[in-house]
Structure 1
Amino acid sequence: MSVAAPTSASEEEQPTPPFAARTVVRRLRSHAFVAVAALAMAVYVTHGLWQQPYTNVIADNVGDQAFFEWVLSYGVHLLRDGGDPFFTTLMNTPLGVNLAANTSITVFAILFAPLTVLAGPQVTFVTILTLNLAGSAFAWYLFLNRWLTHNRVSAAVAGLFCGFAPGFVSHANGHLNWTSGWIAPVVLWRLLKLREKGHWLRNGAILGVLLGGFFTIAAEGLFFTALAGGVFLIVWSLSRTTWPEARAALPTVLAALGVTAVVAGALLAYPLHMHFAGPQTFKGTGFNQRHYAEDLGSYFSFSERSLAATVGLGSDLAPNPTEATSFFGMPLMVLVIASLIMLWRRADPGRRVTLRAVTVVGVAFLLLSLGPRLNFMGDETDIPLPYALIQSWPLFDSALPLRFALVLVGVIGIVLALTADTLLDRTVVPHPAHTAFATAFAFALIPIFPLPLVYRERAPEPAFIANGTWEQYVPDGGTLSALPFAINVAADGQRWQAYTMARGGRQFLIPDGYFLGPDLDGAEGKGRIGAVPRRTDWLFLRAALYGHITQVSNADRAYARADLQYWDIDALFLPPTITGPTGPLYRAALEIVATDLLGEPERVDDVLVWRIRPGTDPVDR
């Protein structure tokens, strides 16, 4: 049996035109039902943000939401004022930020720019997040329905699982890149289309264009998809049963892949150059790969944002709430193993090849997700794992191992689709085990039903920014910063800049920011989160995060003088409230430290402003 199974009886039987028309209507009605169900689920998961998109924020990842709002606003800036989509000096002045080495979601930023202008990046963020979740479920449904199953109900159940699996709901805590799970089925669909004879040029070009666009949305996810697709095709092709079919298709596939390489290479030449060799690039990642590795026990545990958690069965084995990438639960893992055994016994030789290839992909990516050393139930062991051999390879050195577990969502979705297809097949004589499997489906899937994202309020945009009063304090192209300087745990200053970009007009630069960059100023180094900190950064951040009031010394003032000159700052301001990673930060302590260091501020609108006038020394008191 080929990997490309017929999808419906209507396609095989070639019905008469009237019947065909009714079949098309039924198919479209089914598609519409699944699309509406997926969208309803996505709105349910994100409804806390929809209630108040301008003031509510994802509680477990304030920084990433601020970063993506900034990138969405930068798309408006690109369309209005021009610029480089993959590098900017608006942030982290004077060095700038290599956006190609970050998740710049350029395609999203450009496509949704009209919405960003109309409603602001806050609304655009939650819109894309919602559509990503719904689109992932619907895309997997269409893929499974087209290539694998005969019953649309089977594809719908598996598609909804793929779109709202615990790992992707976890990444909905701020990640517009990783919630783009629809990329995988779209790429796999086009990959399978490459073997169509006579269409190698068209199919290769389409895949090349898709890869060029998807790179800017989720480069890491695209890498995982390509890797998984490659492993599957190699295992499937080398089987004795399917080798003749694979050999016959090989010339067409290679020709199409050549076209894909040319088209994608042309589109990605500059982004890839910037990613690997551009200014402010870096090696590796700013995260510890041993820390961000999957715990073997998490595969059999339940997420803290699942229905099981409401009765006390949630687990905290993930490094943080955004990286709970597996958490399928014991019932589902047992169901998958039992389903593979059942499917294998019933399968013809061709289907067995497909099952073998899918299983190899699942096992391989499970092992990769465990990282360089085995972790079990919260403890790291001394047992080395395969990832230790490849963690320094290009691309693998920039990946977080636990994210490889997201590939298993697709693997499990395929197994669920095939199992449901077998159970719903009316041409098969019912077996006593069918009832047990149907019960197991409910027992396995109900506990991992997602809970809505946790949200809370964040600091509203100050009138000083919203009303444009800031323009009186900063010349065109000047530098302005909120206190504390923007970083992942205090990203308000980055948000204020984002909102001015979305509105158009004059812009200001900011020092620092939340991004990934090198750990050495102006030189390629290992990756780190944010800019290399200067002494004045820490002076303000310590006051905001911990309420620590430093007794400012002349040495502090000397360092501040040099730092302010380095950033070429025109003005600093302190908003009424400051958003932190878990709640408001210590504004009063920050005001005391800033006043001691910079002198008495001006009260303007709803903020305190310190002018840093050219030719004067604001810290020489």
Structure 2
Amino acid sequence: MTSPAEAASPEKPGEPPSRWRAHLTMAVVALAAAVYVCQGLWLAPYRNVVADNVSDQGQFEWMLAYGVYLLQHGTDPFFTDLLNAPRGVNLAMNTSSTFYAVLFAPLTHFAGPSISFATILTLNLAGSAFVWYLFLRRWLVRSGLAAAVGGMLFGFCPGLISHANGHLNWTSGWMVGIVAWWVLKLPERDHWLRNGIVLGLLCGMGFSVAAEALFFCALASGLFLGIWLLSRPGRQMARSALPPVLKALGVCAVLAGALLAYPLYMHFAGPLKFSGTGFLMDHYSEDLVAYAAFPLQSLAGLFGWGADLAPNATEATSFLGAPLLLLFGAALVLLWRRASPERRVTLRALTVVGGVFFVLSLGPRLRFMGTEQEHIPLPYALLAEIPLFDSALPVRYTLVVVVIIALVLALFVDEFLNRTALTRVALGAAVVAALAPIAPLPLRTLERAPEPEFISSGRWRDFVSDGGVMTTLPLAMDVAVDSMRWQATTMADGGAAQFRIPAGYFLGPQDYEETGRELVGRLGPPDRPTTRLFYRAGRFGQVSRVTDVDRAQARADFEYWRLEAIFLPDEMTGPRGPLNRAALVLFCTDLLGEPEHVQDVLVWRIRPGVDPVDKPARG
């Protein structure tokens, strides 16, 4: 019994690798390209941050530091009360990346979460290109060059480069490649037990790396495998493949179910669960024109040919450019004409998967040139309320389309690489013309606030009890994550004592009412009045006179958070640079009185049950 990949492969699948030098060269090239893309982080890893997504990098650094805390204290990997005091956060419904957090915990402890972040991001990009190169080289193409073209196209495609702006989960394309590899092995009659066990372990790992990407991989793999089996002449192949596939999937389900029983319970029934993502599906849908446009952070964008049609810089997942789309279409037609019946089955399955995910990426309603066409609904409108689909952003389905394009392009290069000299020249020119415009530029970076000596020296322990609540300002949220950063550094240091913080940058329910109804997701906790006052001062420099009402509300909010201290460093990081420290000092002094000057921070002690300051309000 042959697998889909074996049937489509021009080589014997069991043949051992004979070109280790080529593999090593590809690994070095992929790693060099990844370092080039991430060079801004490596130039100053403790100070620089990706400019287009400061907050997501801070959030992932917190998750990595939590891995050290998790191993040291044996706490719950899927729920924490270190954030969002006193309620806590359901990490199973967030990008907790437990696999990375635990695996890189030693590096995080000794070098810090920012080093771990830059390391994982670099390895993700290089690993994505290399794993898909191996996938192609092993199963689909003869030529190492053809496999390299496909691997580099996916590993450094505009979608992965855009997600490199802060997303360790969505740059983990290597994980998808490995899972897809073993899915293709499921029809093997004599190895169903081994394949089921391996796939179950991979699902357990993949859930903690990128659960949403694993969901996409499962959809695409199942669709491909079903079409491949049903498209073969007669029904004998499908009938003979069904038993090993079902048995392997049964083993996979049992093993993955055992490994993921608790995280899945936390995700679907745990405390502070919610539905949706907190993001608008219509906004995070692919623009039809974006597929043919060039990305801003690319060689074409450098010359002013890029288009700004993405929801934000981190979700620019298509932007493949018209030349690549034309080459893909031509490659598909030429391959089909020259393909054997076995290869046509594979091409048909790839085309259907690509088409389905293309339609899904467009979201509930068609978007064209930045405008939603409300009168043109699309199939995703029927899926948007279904569990799992309701937690996925449509624009990200594009990454599966890119995989299909990379596979087809590699097959095309492999097919015509050994033709006449003129054919090879035309092929090379076509590939360069299609790929050069979308070649990535290095990630843009900016400087963020350095770690205060107040934190690094451990002096903070004098102002908060063990497990008590302390914060810097503004409170941690999607545009200000310094509180999470300083908490992360204390977790990474591995000390026994630890402070908690109110609020945070995470996905949580819209409110905490015990009404029995399904709560919708949002970014961060429900707003409290004092949070908004701190935010307006820090982000926009708005300092209003403090009233008795403000003081009473602050007292209530402080008691709710069980807050013991507030500190302000010399610098605070916002989404585009430093926040307004002077405005926060004025506001906090008016609200809380004169601060203590401790090392490089100002500190206000909070006395529970006492008015913020012992003086009459002004105004």
TM-score in terms of structure 2 length: 0.96
Residues 579-611 of structure 1: CA distance to partner in whole angstroms, max 9, x if unpaired?
Answer: 000111111111111111111111111111000
Say whether the 8 Å CA contact 1:68–1:125 is kept in structure 2: yes
1:374 is matched with which residue? 366
* 1:549 lines up with 2:543 in the alignment: yes
Residues 549-579 of structure 1: CA distance to partner in whole angstroms, max 9, x if unpaired?
Answer: 1111100001000000000011011111110
2:508 is matched with which residue? 517
2:132 partner SS: helix
Change (3 A) 1:569 1:503: same
* 1:295 lines up with 2:279 in the alignment: no
Say whether the 8 Å CA contact 1:132–1:182 is kept in structure 2: yes
Residues 309-333 of structure 1: CA distance to partner in whole angstroms, max 9, x if unpaired?
Answer: 1111011100110000000000000
CA drift at 1:8: 8.5
C-alpha separation between the residues in 2 aligned to 1:85 and 1:605? 34
Say whether the 8 Å CA contact 1:374–1:384 is kept in structure 2: yes
1:380 partner SS: strand
Residues 279-307 of structure 1: CA distance to partner in whole angstroms, max 9, x if unpaired?
Answer: 11110011010000000000000001110
1:438 is matched with which residue? 428
* 1:411 lines up with 2:390 in the alignment: no
Equivalent of 1:448 in 428, 438, 452? 438
User: Which range moves more in the overlay, 431-440 or 211-220?
Assistant: 431-440
CA drift at 1:9: 7.8
C-alpha separation between the residues in 2 aligned to 1:192 and 1:95? 44
* 1:560 lines up with 2:560 in the alignment: no
C-alpha separation between the residues in 1 aligned to 2:416 and 2:490? 56
1:72 is matched with which residue? 64
User: Which range moves more in the overlay, 522-531 or 149-158?
Assistant: 522-531
Residues 28-61 of structure 1: CA distance to partner in whole angstroms, max 9, x if unpaired?
Answer: 1111111111000000000100011000000000
2:474 is matched with which residue? 484
C-alpha separation between the residues in 2 aligned to 1:244 and 1:451? 50
1:580 is matched with which residue? 574
* 1:401 lines up with 2:400 in the alignment: no
Q: Aligned AA for 2:556?
A: A
1:569 is matched with which residue? 563
Q: Aligned AA for 1:409?
A: V
Q: Aligned AA for 1:543?
A: A
Q: Aligned AA for 1:229?
A: S
Residues 399-419 of structure 1: CA distance to partner in whole angstroms, max 9, x if unpaired?
Answer: 111100011111001111100
Say whether the 8 Å CA contact 2:361–2:397 is kept in structure 1: yes
* 1:386 lines up with 2:379 in the alignment: yes
C-alpha separation between the residues in 2 aligned to 1:475 and 1:348? 72
Gaps of 5+ in 1: 15-22
CA drift at 1:198: 2.1
CA drift at 1:13: 11
Within 5 Å, give how 1:39-78 maps onto structure 2: 39-78=31-70
Say whether the 8 Å CA contact 1:242–1:350 is kept in structure 2: no
CA drift at 1:437: 3.4
C-alpha separation between the residues in 2 aligned to 1:246 and 1:33? 39
C-alpha separation between the residues in 2 aligned to 1:66 and 1:347? 49
2:460 partner SS: helix
2:464 is matched with which residue? 474
* 1:95 lines up with 2:96 in the alignment: no
1:198 partner SS: helix
C-alpha separation between the residues in 2 aligned to 1:558 and 1:445? 61
Within 5 Å, give how 1:238-249 maps onto structure 2: 238-241=230-233, 243-249=235-241
Residues 445-497 of structure 1: CA distance to partner in whole angstroms, max 9, x if unpaired?
Answer: 11110000000100001111111111001111111100111111011011000
Change (3 A) 1:418 1:303: same
Q: Aligned AA for 2:23?
A: H
1:125 is matched with which residue? 117
1:36 is matched with which residue? 28
C-alpha separation between the residues in 1 aligned to 2:489 and 2:347? 50
C-alpha separation between the residues in 2 aligned to 1:240 and 1:161? 29
CA drift at 1:433: 5.8
CA drift at 1:247: 2.1
CA drift at 1:235: 1.4
Say whether the 8 Å CA contact 2:232–2:345 is kept in structure 1: no
C-alpha separation between the residues in 1 aligned to 2:607 and 2:310? 48
Residues 421-444 of structure 1: CA distance to partner in whole angstroms, max 9, x if unpaired?
Answer: 1012x4xx6497664333211100
C-alpha separation between the residues in 2 aligned to 1:296 and 1:366? 9
C-alpha separation between the residues in 2 aligned to 1:397 and 1:354? 30
Residues 365-384 of structure 1: CA distance to partner in whole angstroms, max 9, x if unpaired?
Answer: 11110111111111111211
2:192 is matched with which residue? 200
Say whether the 8 Å CA contact 1:204–1:260 is kept in structure 2: yes
Say whether the 8 Å CA contact 1:6–1:12 is kept in structure 2: no
Residues 105-135 of structure 1: CA distance to partner in whole angstroms, max 9, x if unpaired?
Answer: 0010001000001100000000000000000
1:266 partner SS: helix
Equivalent of 1:275 in 267, 287, 307? 267
1:497 is matched with which residue? 487
Q: Aligned AA for 1:581?
A: P
Change (3 A) 1:375 1:166: same
* 1:256 lines up with 2:248 in the alignment: yes
Say whether the 8 Å CA contact 2:358–2:401 is kept in structure 1: yes
CA drift at 1:150: 1.2
Equivalent of 2:183 in 191, 195, 215? 191
Say whether the 8 Å CA contact 2:11–2:142 is kept in structure 1: no
Gaps of 5+ in 2: none
CA drift at 1:10: 7.6
* 1:4 lines up with 2:34 in the alignment: no
2:527 is matched with which residue? 533
User: Which range moves more in the overlay, 516-525 or 269-278?
Assistant: 516-525
Within 5 Å, give how 1:215-226 maps onto structure 2: 215-226=207-218
C-alpha separation between the residues in 2 aligned to 1:277 and 1:204? 27
Residues 72-91 of structure 1: CA distance to partner in whole angstroms, max 9, x if unpaired?
Answer: 00000011111000000000
C-alpha separation between the residues in 2 aligned to 1:114 and 1:589? 39
C-alpha separation between the residues in 2 aligned to 1:137 and 1:536? 47
Residues 512-570 of structure 1: CA distance to partner in whole angstroms, max 9, x if unpaired?
Answer: 00000000026551110011110000000011111101111100001000000000011
Q: Aligned AA for 1:455?
A: T
1:609 partner SS: strand
C-alpha separation between the residues in 2 aligned to 1:138 and 1:255? 31
C-alpha separation between the residues in 1 aligned to 2:210 and 2:581? 36
Q: Aligned AA for 2:468?
A: G
C-alpha separation between the residues in 2 aligned to 1:13 and 1:45? 36
CA drift at 1:344: 0.5
Q: State how many pairs are aligned.
A: 609
1:528 partner SS: strand
C-alpha separation between the residues in 2 aligned to 1:437 and 1:5? 26
Say whether the 8 Å CA contact 1:70–1:495 is kept in structure 2: yes
Q: Aligned AA for 1:65?
A: Q
CA drift at 1:5: 3.9
* 1:618 lines up with 2:612 in the alignment: yes
Say whether the 8 Å CA contact 2:8–2:346 is kept in structure 1: no
2:499 partner SS: coil
CA drift at 1:142: 0.6
C-alpha separation between the residues in 2 aligned to 1:474 and 1:162? 48
C-alpha separation between the residues in 2 aligned to 1:111 and 1:435? 46
* 1:594 lines up with 2:594 in the alignment: no
1:19 is matched with which residue? none
TM-score in terms of structure 1 length: 0.96
C-alpha separation between the residues in 2 aligned to 1:95 and 1:585? 27
Change (3 A) 1:319 1:170: same
Computed over aligned residues only, the root mean square deviation of the Cα atoms, in angstroms, reads: 1.7
Within 5 Å, give how 1:327-366 maps onto structure 2: 327-366=319-358
